[in-house]
Structures are given as structure tokens and as C-alpha cells.
């Protein structure tokens, strides 16, 4: 049986290694609820910029409603030290990226492509100068026991 990574221990080691500094962190979020627990835990350790981007959200009204809720949450819960920036909403980016995968089941290959798309957004590159290993706040990542979960974790870690 393969040894499973203990991400909580890995994060504790990273935080301990900061040595009292508060470096910048770009965090991807697709809505407020997805980012709430992550922000709660990391705000004290990092100067966080939240990149709001998810071309998979439809209709457009839902995308903008989620963005507004994210802004409200950050303003109320983290008035100091968290900035929210939004990338361009273009659902065609999603449709193009997943072309040919329309009949894939939920948590299948289409999800893996969508995660990669969101992590390689032009906004990420503009903010950092290159596509970084940008953490993503969604808590509904595919389970590690599924093929897409294993692939997503390998490509993001």
C-alpha cells in the first residue's frame, strides 16, 4: 500500500518555515464559501490576493453573484490584508478546453481539464509573471481515490 501524504503536516512545516515573515500568496477561488476556511487558516501567515475566476459557472448572472458574495465575505471577514481580483469571465474558454469530453461523468476527465484551465488563467500569469503553482481554494476537489483526483493532485503538487 502506498504511503499517503499528510497535507496538514506538510502545511504545518511550511508555515513553521516562514520564520515570522508574511509572504505574498495568490489563491484561486471560484466563490466565497470555497475560500472561507482556507482564508481563515492562512490570513495570519500570508498577504493574500484572491483571484476570482471560473469560466465553468453559468449563467453569467450566477458567476457575477458568486463574485459579489466573495467580495462581501472578504470585506466582512478579512478587512485587512486580503485583496480580491477578478479575471475575465469567458465561458467559451471552458467549452473549448473540454471539447470532446461532454459525455464524461462528473469527476471525470472534464473536471481535470477544468482544474488545469483555472490554474493557468491569464490573470495568474499577469499577477505573478508566470504560471505559478497557485493554490486553489475549492474544497470540492475530486477525491484522491478517483482517477481524476489522483491526476489533479499530481499535476498540482
Mean pLDDT value of segment 89-108: 92
- Residue 149: per-residue pLDDT: 41
Mean pLDDT value of segment 71-82: 82
Residue 111, number of CB atoms within 10 A of its CB: 23
- Residue 66: per-residue pLDDT: 93
Which pLDDT band holds residue 79 (cuts at 50, 70, 90)? low
What does each C-alpha distance from 49 to 69, 85, 135 come to in angstroms? 16, 7, 11
Contacts of 7 (CB under 8 A, 6+ apart): none
What does each C-alpha distance from 11 to 3, 15, 134, 155 come to in angstroms? 17, 6, 15, 18
- Residue 157: per-residue pLDDT: 39
Q: Rounded to whole angstroms, how far apart are CA atoms 155 and 22?
A: 26
Q: In the chain, which residue ranges form alpha helices assigned H by DSSP? A: 7-16, 32-42, 60-77, 91-97, 109-119, 122-128, 147-156
Percentage of the chain beyond pLDDT 70 is 75
This prediction's pTM: 0.72
- Give the tens place of pLDDT for each residue, 16-54: 999 989 888 888 888 778 788 888 888 889 988 888 988
What does each C-alpha distance from 13 to 6, 16, 35, 67 come to in angstroms? 11, 5, 21, 32
Q: Rounded to whole angstroms, how far apart are CA atoms 83 and 91?
A: 24
- Give the tens place of pLDDT for each residue, 117-139: 887 776 666 666 654 445 555 43
Model confidence at 150: pLDDT above 90: no
Amino acid at each position: 500500500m502506498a504511503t499517503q501524504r499528510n497535507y496538514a503536516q506538510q502545511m504545518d512545516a511550511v508555515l513553521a518555515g516562514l520564520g515570522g515573515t508574511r509572504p505574498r500568496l495568490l489563491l484561486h477561488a471560484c466563490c466565497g464559501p470555497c475560500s472561507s476556511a482556507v482564508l481563515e487558516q492562512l490570513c495570519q501567515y500570508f498577504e493574500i490576493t484572491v483571484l476570482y475566476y471560473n469560466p465553468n459557472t453559468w449563467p453569467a448572472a450566477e458567476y457575477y453573484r458568486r463574485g459579489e458574495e466573495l467580495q462581501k465575505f472578504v470585506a466582512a471577514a478579512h478587512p485587512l490584508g486580503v485583496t480580491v481580483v477578478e479575471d475575465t469571465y469567458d465561458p467559451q474558454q471552458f467549452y473549448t478546453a473540454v471539447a470532446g469530453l461532454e459525455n464524461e461523468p462528473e469527476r471525470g476527465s472534464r473536471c481535470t481539464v477544468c482544474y488545469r484551465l483555472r490554474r493557468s488563467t491569464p490573470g495568474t500569469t499577469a499577477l505573478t509573471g508566470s504560471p505559478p503553482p497557485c493554490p486553489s481554494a475549492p474544497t470540492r476537489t475530486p477525491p484522491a481515490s478517483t482517477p481524476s483526483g489522483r491526476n489533479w493532485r499530481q499535476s498540482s503538487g
